[in-house]
A and B are shown apart, each in its own frame.
Chain A
């Protein structure tokens, strides 16, 4: 159905059995839209993504996901000594459509190679995943999501640890994938990345605000999102958010 949002949440609460980790989340993601999830560590960004993936059930409210989701997890935590090539990883995207006893076919591997070419890594297909740079690893995981035919891409802190050039190239790729009609959700605590998105959802255990970046990202919303960890940079440097280092896992 054209015009139907890819993700629709209304009064959504999600938790792990105890009190909800996030509550009061209401938003819609349209095709071609880039939504930034902005919030501190432990604020519930990953919880919301897991709910969209269907790994966690809503404790309250409504969540509708109309389309296949592909996840692009943080690669800092993946095992870099694992004996797989970039092509092996991209080919894993074919698994969801195969019964458990079937192996990916040559056709699937061709599709995976095409996806690697799409993200600009056609010449790195045979390289060991762990030997690629941080930005390249993110691209391989995006290629894996493309092999899944995902129309919703969920990226968890994709820019963390990347140098400026890599981050810019990755952002360009994300923009292109959105322009092709995919919905993109990017969890970040980078305020500048959030500003360049179509919409921002501020999340700190509950939804603080949602909407276009220029309307949402005011001082009050940021302070509520980050609990007042905002510092003024002297000599007109603007504002900065001190990233919280409290990890809640």
Chain B
């Protein structure tokens, strides 16, 4: 059990997944509640060309991913304004274009090997700057979620009356997307373009099965992400499977376990006596 902890690379991998899980798990609750899972996956895919260019240029992935995600977000906003184009279609067109562009670059003869680490991440080999970025994310996301919490809650509950409560739905959504973009560009190092969405959606979806309150859901999702992430690394260590994929599958396993667990919790009688039936 403790053997993997002796290895320096495992210590770093565990630190990386714990930091990413903490931020991604909690943030993911709002992604799930705001029904932005598809947007989250799309944003992750659309930064692929940025990652390839960064890797070709030998600069940190973050420097390639950040402009790519901004371009993708702007392109989606523009595409959705074309007549007869729904937001869905805009997202699909932009993501396919960006991802295709990335593949084109990645498969050119000049490209260095190792494209698969951009697609599937390199959770077992984070650099010092990767770890530092993950640490900043793990600090900044919970603080932002803490400050924005009441307004995120009000907007998610009912967008129309949020405005009457002095909460601008558009501003809240924009802030949430900024947090999502930040989490994506940081977490993509560990989990890659194709798997990063797992840490954003899986733990939150699992936590939602287990509780009917937002704050426990946020804490639970962060905990599930961290525990499942570390479990995935252990599987990878002992079974020799790919790191990022093992983490993603461990998160999916946590969700599948949460489904029956949630049913059992729902069947359990309430802890305190319910008041007698009332008319209303």
A residues whose Cβ falls under 8 Å from a Cβ of B: 53, 55, 69-71, 73, 78-79, 82-85, 88-89, 91-93, 95-96, 98, 100-101, 103-104, 120, 123-124, 128-129, 133, 135-136, 139, 148, 165-166, 169-170
Q: Are B157 and A53 in contact (CB under 8 A)?
A: no
Instruction: Using A103-B149, A136-B280 as known contacts, say yes or no to A96 and B157 having CB atoms under 8 A apart.
Output: no
Q: Are A95 and B150 in contact (CB under 8 A)?
A: yes
Chain A: CB-nearest residue to B214: A83
Instruction: Tell me the minimal C-beta distance from A63 to chain B in angstroms.
Output: 16
Q: Are A133 and B280 in contact (CB under 8 A)?
A: yes
Tell me which of A85, A96, A101, A133 contacts B165 (CB under 8 A).
A96
Interface-centre pick from A71, A92, A148, A169 (highest chain B CB count, 10 A): A92
Inside 8 A of A79's CB, which chain B residues have their CB? 157-158
Inside 8 A of B280's CB, which chain A residues have their CB? 120, 133, 135-136, 139, 165-166, 169-170
Main secondary structure of the interface of A (DSSP, over half): mixed
B residues whose Cβ falls under 8 Å from a Cβ of A: 33, 147, 149-151, 153-154, 156-158, 160-161, 163-167, 208, 211-214, 217, 275, 279-280
Inside 8 A of A85's CB, which chain B residues have their CB? 213
Inside 8 A of A69's CB, which chain B residues have their CB? 164
Q: Are B167 and A95 in contact (CB under 8 A)?
A: yes
Chain A: CB-nearest residue to B154: A92
Inside 8 A of B214's CB, which chain A residues have their CB? 83-84, 88
Tell me which of B161, B217, B275 contacts A83 (CB under 8 A).
B217
Q: Supply 14 further A-B pairs (C-beta < 8 A) apart from A92-B153, A103-B147, A170-B280.
A: A55-B164, A70-B164, A73-B160, A79-B157, A82-B156, A83-B213, A83-B217, A88-B153, A93-B165, A95-B165, A124-B275, A133-B280, A135-B280, A139-B280
**Docked CA distance A53–B165 (Å):** 10
Q: Are A82 and B165 in contact (CB under 8 A)?
A: no
Q: Are B279 and A73 in contact (CB under 8 A)?
A: no
Inside 8 A of B164's CB, which chain A residues have their CB? 53, 55, 69-71
Inside 8 A of B211's CB, which chain A residues have their CB? 83
Instruction: Tell me the minimal C-beta distance from A58 to chain B in angstroms.
Output: 18
**Docked CA distance A88–B214 (Å):** 10
**Docked CA distance A129–B165 (Å):** 18
Q: Are B157 and A92 in contact (CB under 8 A)?
A: yes
Instruction: Tell me the minimal C-beta distance from B149 to chain A in angstroms.
Output: 7
